[in-house]
């Protein structure tokens, strides 16, 4: 949770905060920090989700363009394999 902070460091930070702000202000400060972290997490998750959706939309657009390009190429029968219409000359 605290990354590279160990238990002694967390206790030291708590003691310093207790000395600076006093026991009455400490719970209020903790709630404020908790709310701020929650809002930050929500905002970062929203941003990540938006970016992932935009990437997916761009991939779909590229795939659609490739399909349209492939559909626009006229299909030609291979030479010599085309069936001859009845009564037409058979060729050279």
70 or 86, greater pLDDT? 70
- B/e letters for 40-70, b = 16+ CB within 10 Å, e = fewer, are eeeeeeeeeeeeeeeeeeeeeeeeeeeeeee
Q: Was domain 7-71 assigned CATH 1.10.3720.10?
A: no
Q: What is the pTM of this model?
A: 0.51
pLDDT tens, position by position, 7-41: 889 889 888 988 898 889 988 988 999 999 999 99
Distances (CA, A) of 26 to 12, 16, 36, 82: 15, 11, 15, 87
- Average the pLDDT over 59-68 and give the result: 90
Cα distance between residue 3 and residue 80, in whole Å: 71
Residue 56 has pLDDT above 90, yes or no: yes
Q: Sign of torsion, CA 6 7 13 16?
A: negative
Instruction: Give percent of the chain with pLDDT exceeding 70.
Output: 79
Where along the chain do its domains lie?
7-71
How confident is the model at residue 85, as a pLDDT? Answer: 60
Residue 59 has pLDDT above 60, yes or no: yes
DSSP class of residue 81 equals: -
């Amino acid at each position: 949770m605290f990354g590279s902070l160990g238990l002694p460091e967390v206790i030291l930070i708590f003691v310093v905060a207790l000395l600076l702000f006093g026991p009455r202000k400490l719970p209020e400060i903790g709630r404020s920090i908790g709310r701020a972290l929650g809002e930050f997490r929500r905002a970062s998750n929203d941003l990540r989700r938006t970016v992932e959706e935009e990437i997916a939309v761009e991939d779909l657009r590229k795939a659609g363009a490739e399909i349209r390009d492939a559909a626009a190429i006229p299909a030609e029968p291979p030479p010599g394999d085309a069936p001859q219409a009845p009564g037409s000359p058979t060729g050279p």
